[in-house]
Amino acid sequence: MIDINKYNQYQQTINQTIAVSGIGLHSGEETKIKLVPAEPNHGIKFIRTDKKDNNVIEAIWSNVSETVLSTTISNNHGVKVSTIEHLMSALSGLHID
């Protein structure tokens, strides 16, 4: 969940695209993530680029589908993204919404 800063009425995003790659914690496979600045009122969304259809998952509490050993969010089509809790915590701490 994003903490709302009652003293700052403006939304915040990142300044530029950030790309990171590494080995997936649970999968052991090569993993890449790209953080892209968003337009106002966009919210945080995960986009699975390995899927062609129905690949967008909104990072909202109602999309949390599992919390055993990590946090998983999924959309209505069963597309999932796991182990998002540390990234979401960092974004919340920086008031990036």
Confirm if 17 and 2 have CB atoms less than 8 A apart: no
For residues 56 and 80, is the Cβ–Cβ distance under 8 A?
no
CB atoms under 10 Å from CB of 48, counted, come to 14
d(CA 55, CA 63): 14
Residue 97: what pLDDT? Answer: 87
pLDDT at 25 (0 to 100): 86
Beta-bridged to residue 19, according to DSSP, are: 34
For residue 19, the SS3 value is strand
Query: Considering the entire predicted model, what is its pTM?
Result: 0.84
Digit-coded pLDDT (tens) for 3-34: 555 665 688 899 999 999 999 888 899 999 99
pLDDT at 1: 45
State the average pLDDT over residues 69-95: 94
pLDDT digits (tens, 9 = 90+) for 42-81: 999 999 999 999 999 999 999 999 999 999 999 999 999 9
Share of the chain above pLDDT 70, in %: 91
